[in-house]
């Protein structure tokens, strides 16, 4: 029995064992593996085309040093899309609605971009904290503001992904509950609400893909500043 709207976002447990790890590992089983055949099936062809197009568009502004991140960011993109899409199925759990998981992905990757910038080009990396032509009295204030904005980046990455997916799931649950309540009393209104639910579900499918893309795109922009 659901006691609260937010109970659906609680990490599932079974016999004292957290199932979050299983929900993170299971999507990798669904991905088709490449074969040695000359001609692949449609699924493999689409997967290869999608990864190639995404990698090309994401790493086009980056220099050759940033291309070393292609495998990591492409894998992260496919992984986030899969988790977000599977979370839209009934009676499933969406791991990316957990802020701890999203921060666990955002903080290390953001920190890696900062460390790379500090190691390869420390002058340029520190130069981002102070815009050119700043008046002398504003220099200490701007350095503090830019430093705070730098450390807020991983928090914004995690909170954005969590908030968008959580809001979508709540809307779907509220509208679907309204359909079941209205069905015996006002069937016509219930059918119109069901159409709204279908449109909202299609919107959430788009949001699930867009938010995964935005997460990886912002990481690539942070990387672009430091390579």
Per-residue confidence (pLDDT) for residue 1, from 0 to 100: 40
Please report whether residue 163 resides in a domain.
yes
Per-residue confidence (pLDDT) for residue 5, from 0 to 100: 63
Rounded average pLDDT over 84-113: 88
Backbone angles phi, psi at 36, to 5 degrees: -90, 5
Q: What is the pLDDT of residues 185-197, one digit of tens each?
A: 888 888 999 999 9
Domain count, the chain: 1
Structural domain range at position 92: 7-34+43-226
Please report whether residue 1 resides in a domain.
no
Residue whose pair of structure tokens reads 């593996």 in the numeric block: 33
pTM of the shown model: 0.83
Please report whether residue 2 resides in a domain.
no
Please report whether residue 138 resides in a domain.
yes
Please report whether residue 27 resides in a domain.
yes
Q: What is the pLDDT of residues 138-181, one digit of tens each?
A: 788 888 888 898 899 999 999 999 999 988 888 888 898 888 88
**Residue 217 to residues 40, 124, 127, 138, 139, Cα–Cα distance (Å):** 29, 21, 23, 32, 30
Backbone angles phi, psi at 32, to 5 degrees: -70, 140
Per-residue confidence (pLDDT) for residue 91, from 0 to 100: 79
Please report whether residue 222 resides in a domain.
yes
How would DSSP label each residue in 67-113? Answer: GGGHHHHHHHHHHHHHHHHHTTSTT---GGG-HHHHHHHHHHHHHHH
Report whether 127 contacts 40 (CB < 8 A). Answer: no
Q: What is the pLDDT of residues 119-136, one digit of tens each?
A: 888 888 787 777 777 787
Structure tokens at 74: 């492409």
Rounded Cα distance, 70 and 59, in Å: 7
Q: What is the pLDDT of residues 5-24, one digit of tens each?
A: 666 666 666 666 677 777 77
Give how far the C-alpha of residue 86 lies from the chain's centroid of Cα atoms, to the nearest Å: 13
Q: Is the dihedral of CA 85, 88, 90, 96 positive or negative?
A: positive
Q: Is the dihedral of CA 203, 207, 208, 209 positive or negative?
A: positive
Backbone angles phi, psi at 3, to 5 degrees: -90, -20
Q: Is the pLDDT of residue 108 over 90?
A: yes
Q: How many CB atoms lie within 10 A of CB 149?
A: 12
């Amino acid at each position: 029995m659901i006691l609260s709207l937010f109970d659906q976002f609680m990490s599932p447990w079974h016999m004292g064992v957290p199932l979050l790890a299983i929900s993170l590992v299971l999507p990798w089983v669904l991905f088709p593996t490449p074969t040695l055949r000359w001609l692949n099936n449609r699924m493999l062809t689409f997967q290869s085309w999608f990864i190639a197009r995404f990698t090309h568009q994401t790493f086009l502004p980056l220099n050759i040093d940033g291309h070393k991140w292609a495998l990591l960011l492409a894998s992260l993109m496919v992984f986030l899309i899969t988790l977000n899409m599977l979370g839209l199925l009934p009676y499933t759990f969406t791991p990316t609605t957990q802020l701890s998981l999203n921060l666990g992905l955002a903080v290390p990757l953001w920190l890696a971009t900062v460390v790379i910038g500090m190691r390869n080009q420390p002058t340029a990396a520190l130069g981002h904290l102070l815009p050119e032509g700043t008046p002398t009295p504003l220099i200490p204030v701007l350095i503090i503001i830019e430093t705070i904005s730098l450390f807020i980046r991983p928090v914004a990455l995690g909170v954005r992904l969590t908030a968008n997916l959580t809001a979508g799931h709540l809307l779907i649950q509220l509208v679907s509950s309204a359909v079941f309540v209205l069905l015996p009393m006002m069937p016509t209104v219930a059918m119109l609400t069901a159409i709204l639910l279908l449109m909202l579900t299609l919107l959430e499918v788009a949001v699930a893909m867009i938010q995964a893309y935005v997460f990886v795109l912002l990481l690539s922009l942070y990387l672009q500043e430091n390579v």
